[in-house]
Amino acid sequence: MSETVGRDAAPYTGLVVVELSDDPAGEQTGKHLAELGADVIKVEPPEGSRSRRTGPFAGDVAGDDTSLMFWTYNAGKRSVVLDGTASGRAALQALIARADVLLTTLRPSELTAAGLDFRQLLDAHPRLIVLSVTPFGLEGPWADYRTSDLVGLAAGGPLMSCGYDDHSIPPIRPGGNQGYQVAASFAHCGLLLALIERQQTGAGQLVDVSMHCSLAVSGELANPYWFYPRVLVQRQTSRHAQPDMTQPALFRCADDRWIYFALILAEQKPWEALVEWMDSAGLAVDLTDTEYSNLTHRQQNFHHVQDLIEVFFLLMDSATAYHEGQRRGLPIGPVQAPEDLFDDPHLAARKFFAPLPGDEGATVLVPTTPFRFSSFPVPPPRPAPRLGEDTAEILGGLSEELARGIPG
């Protein structure tokens, strides 16, 4: 890859990745790479990847090329259809032979069924990096267990911290396939460490990323509370799981929208800013009394403080709470719905959304990469490939090598 990287090039320019992914963890990993310049060749079976058959669909019309699930996680890749026949397997081997990275989500039993042996591949291709992103890792007693986003978040720990104050309600899965996303983030970093190591040694390697272990280290406070005071945290509505139940941090505003505001009682400056703000609206009641400048007094009277804050926010709209609060140095955020984001002036000023080129000429705004570097311009969004869109081109490029008989 190094030969083609120029001054303004995105970081993965010239990197060739063969992707055998059947879940959002692997697909998102490949998308990170494609978005920043890699040639990600997505190998699909004749019926297409599972995500192509998963909704929602553009225009609510199911089809090979209309899945928004597929679009989300496969933008910017190329699609090659290979079947499980001998010629399909030979083509896969030939693709791998030319790749920097083989990205797979196959569990050990699935690897065997697909006839893929990582050790053999690494022996045959010493510069190859095999990036394996699996539910539980390639080894260990659960290596062949299945996962899903819900099941991954459950077994990995984060789910136990998420839900409502009412514990008769089960823990609730946060939205957006975040279990898979956490695995993808570690896969991305793991690949980068292996690429940097390869720059120094010329050698590839196996990178075994476990979604389960990725989630088991991504629960923020749950492990430290077990490591140190050896207590378990309890889930609480939209705020930090803690050893004890704490005061709500979501406040309803006059426009029936929610804001998040966690008052950190121990911090003097935010406390003073809040009281001043409430006082300016004539709603501080007794909070201006001098004894409230003492942390212990605030802690002892937190219920009363909380009641007054609830009333205060209920009398203003969420936009005022957000911007006036922030102006006064208070960390307040509105609970925005996805549709609100397209009108957000801050995101607009940063040109975060950009049009996705489409066949029908309709302009759809999608997020650009959050990776903003001064060394390369923000790459424009690209569509996901149609099923087998690049098969002819990719196999055509291989035909000479296949004719010579690439060793497996």
Partner 1 sequence: MEVGHLSTGGEIGPLVDDAPRRPRARRGPLSGIRVADFCWMGVGSVATRMLADFGAEVIKIEHRARLDTPRRLPIYKDDPRSYGTEDPNPDPNKGGLFNNYCRNKLGVTINMRSPRGQELAEKLIAKSSVVTENFAAGVMERWGLTYERIQELSPEAIYAHMSGFGQTGPYSSYRSYGPIVQAVSGLTFISGLPDREPSGWGFSYMDNQAAYFNSAALLMAIMQRNVTGMGTEIDISAVEAGISLLGPDLLDVAVNTRPTRRAGFPRGNRLEYPRAAPHGVYPCAGEDRWVAIAVFDDADWVRLVEIMGGPAWAADPRFESQQDRFANQDALDAHLSEWTRSRGPHEVMHLLQRAGVCAGAVQDARDLNETDPQVAHYDLFFELDHPVIGPARFEGTPIRFSRIEQDNWRSAPLLGEDNSYVFTEVLGLSQDEVRELAAAGAI
Contacting partner 1 within 324-343 (CB under 8 A): 326, 329-342
Please choose, from the candidates 60, 9, 70, 122, the residue with its C-alpha nearest in 3D space to the C-alpha of residue 389: 70
Q: Please tell me the distance from the alpha carbon of residue 5 to that of residue 11, in angstroms, as a whole number.
A: 8
| Minimum CB–partner distance for residue 391 and partner 1 (Å) | 25
Contact 379, 11 (CB under 8 A): no
φ/ψ region of 149 (left if φ > 0, alpha if ψ in -120 to 50, else beta) reads: alpha
| Minimum CB–partner distance for residue 63 and partner 1 (Å) | 13
Asked if 316 interacts with partner 1 (CB under 8 A), we say no
Please choose, from the candidates 94, 42, 240, 87, the residue with its C-alpha nearest in 3D space to the C-alpha of residue 158: 240
In angstroms, what is the C-alpha Rg of the chain?
Answer: 26
Binding-site size for partner 1 (CB under 8 A) equals 163
Q: Please tell me the distance from the alpha carbon of residue 102 to that of residue 271, in angstroms, as a whole number.
A: 53
Residues 123-162 that bind partner 1 (CB under 8 A): 136-143, 145-148, 150-162
Q: Convert residues 240-259 into a mask of x (bound to partner 1 by CB under 8 A) and - (unbound).
A: xxxxx-xx-xx-x-----xx
Asked if 199 interacts with partner 1 (CB under 8 A), we say yes
Residues 18-47 that bind partner 1 (CB under 8 A): 24, 32, 36
Stretch of residues binding partner 1 (CB under 8 A), selected from 38-46, 213-221, 278-286, 396-404: 213-221
In the complex with partner 1, which residue's Cβ is closer, 232 or 311? 232
| Minimum CB–partner distance for residue 203 and partner 1 (Å) | 6
* Single-letter amino acid code for the residue at 41: I
Q: Which of 85, 86, 202, 264 forms a contact with partner 1 (CB under 8 A)?
A: 264
Structure tokens at 92: 């896969």
Contact 238, 292 (CB under 8 A): no
Q: Convert residues 341-380 into a mask of x (bound to partner 1 by CB under 8 A) and - (unbound).
A: xx--xxx-xx-x-----------xxxx-xxxxxxx-----
In the complex with partner 1, which residue's Cβ is closer, 320 or 401? 320
Q: Which of 85, 86, 202, 228 forms a contact with partner 1 (CB under 8 A)?
A: 228
In the complex with partner 1, which residue's Cβ is closer, 251 or 394? 251
Stretch of residues binding partner 1 (CB under 8 A), selected from 64-72, 78-86, 87-95, 399-407: 64-72
Asked if 405 interacts with partner 1 (CB under 8 A), we say no
- Count CB-CB contacts under 10 A for residue 219: 22
Asked if 219 interacts with partner 1 (CB under 8 A), we say yes
Q: Which 8-state DSSP code applies to residue 388?
A: T
Give the CA dihedral 119, 122, 123, 128, nearest 10 degrees: 180
Q: Which 8-state DSSP code applies to residue 258?
A: E
* Single-letter amino acid code for the residue at 223: N
Residues 270-309 that bind partner 1 (CB under 8 A): 295-296, 299, 302
Alpha helices in 67-177 (DSSP H): 68-74, 86-97, 108-114, 118-124, 149-156
- Write the DSSP assignment of 19-55 as a string of letters: EE--SHHHHHHHHHHHHTT-EEEEEE-TT--GGGGSS
Stretch of residues binding partner 1 (CB under 8 A), selected from 80-88, 91-99, 197-205, 275-283: 197-205
Stretch of residues binding partner 1 (CB under 8 A), selected from 39-47, 87-95, 202-210, 307-315: 202-210
In the complex with partner 1, which residue's Cβ is closer, 330 or 394? 330
In the complex with partner 1, which residue's Cβ is closer, 21 or 181? 181
Phi, psi of 260 (to 5 degrees): -105, 125
Q: Which of 41, 209, 321, 394 forms a contact with partner 1 (CB under 8 A)?
A: 209
Contact 10, 37 (CB under 8 A): yes
